[in-house]
Amino acid sequence: MTNPFDMELFLCGVLNGSHATRQRHIKQAQIMQVAIKQRWKRNNPWSWQLKHVNWFLRYHLKDHANVSRYRYRQSVLLILRRLGREETWSHRLGDSR
């Protein structure tokens, strides 16, 4: 039996700002984790590929408000920073509109 991936522990090294902002990033990362797990069967960010993140930003969030998509993109950038992929992936993220 495997333990579920702890997104809060994963992000704790790159989170900054107010408590509410940190909690929002954690919650959004968990929502992203569930969506990618359901669609692609990838449980944690270490196994995600650029196509998984782009799918989430483009298609999963397509009916969300612009401000929500912007905030999810900020959470994605934190995840990429934690993975060490920020420089290689951030310019290749799809337009979230």
Q: What is the pLDDT of residues 12-63, one digit of tens each?
A: 999 999 999 999 999 999 999 999 999 999 999 999 999 999 999 999 999 9
- Alpha helices per DSSP H over 1-97: 7-11, 19-40, 50-55, 66-83, 86-89
Note if the pTM is more than 0.75: yes
Whole-number pLDDT of residue 35: 97
As a whole number of angstroms, the distance between CA 85 and CA 10 comes to 15
What does the pLDDT look like over 58-87, one tens digit per residue?
Answer: 999 999 999 999 999 999 999 999 999 988
CA 46 to chain centroid, in Å, comes to: 11
Does residue 95 surpass a pLDDT of 70?
Answer: no
Kindly tell me the number of DSSP H helices and DSSP E strands found in the chain: 5, 0
